[in-house]
Structure 1
Amino acid sequence: MVADESRGSQLLPVLAQLVRFLRQLDSPDNPSPVALGVLRRLDREGPSRITDLARLERTSQPGMTQLVGRLERAGLVLRTADAQDGRVVLVEVTEEGRALIARTHAYYVATLDKLFDRLDPADCETIVAALPALERLAGETAAG
């Protein structure tokens, strides 16, 4: 570690490069990063309003409405009425959407495994050993 560089300034470019790499991968189904993010959120958190999805994914409500429409036409999400308030429309992921998430995840894992195969085994061990600490660091993002 260079003495005058903070840990954050060293980690940020590495994470940015990895995120950029994953966003640019052409998976077999080729979902956009935003579409995949919405599907993952719905799978993880359950049905949501379009307004909430737009806010959480940091996009406009009209843009999210268009995306949900495309996902619905592809059979990846379903719009349903809220049981507590029939005027409210919720979006939920379908089994086909979950299958797309799983296929994309498997493709990303296989791609990363190929990258690991190109590294020195000691580097692989170092990265894997750092994962618990990185998970704790990521957990701090939820804590605020």
Structure 2
Amino acid sequence: MNSLHTPTPPSPALPPQPAVPLTLQWKRQPLPPLQAVQVLDFRAGDIALLEVEQGRVWVTCDGLLEDYFLEAGQRLSFTGPVRLRVSADGHRPARLNWAQHRAVEGAAYPPAPAATPQAVTVVPTSYAAGRALPRGAISAA
């Protein structure tokens, strides 16, 4: 007895879902020049979004060797738990906008209010050779 086996056709691919815009509560952090470093703590499961509104900001993340220097309009995000240390870089004041939210798959991160983000890639030099970023750093744009 011969039986024919008809393969089951693959399920049709679903169209990609559009990104879900998040409603974020942005906090404005003035960073006077030559003042003490300020600390921002974020819990496990939180996403920390940073965007420079004015000036140049130095950012470092506890546990990472790299420092980040962001100009007005640049953004950087981290996954928690992280402790970030931020300050104005140099002798000019800076202003940092930051927000936190719980991780949401497919989320679209809106810009901070009153800021015009620029597409900029901020990658620590030791990771520029194609190695994956460590836990903590997500993206920069």
TM-score of the superposed pair, with normalisation by structure 1: 0.23
More helix by percentage: 1
More strand by percentage: 2
Question: Whose RCO is larger (CA < 8 A, sep 6+)?
Answer: 2
TM-score of the superposed pair, with normalisation by structure 2: 0.23
| Bigger radius of gyration among the two | 2
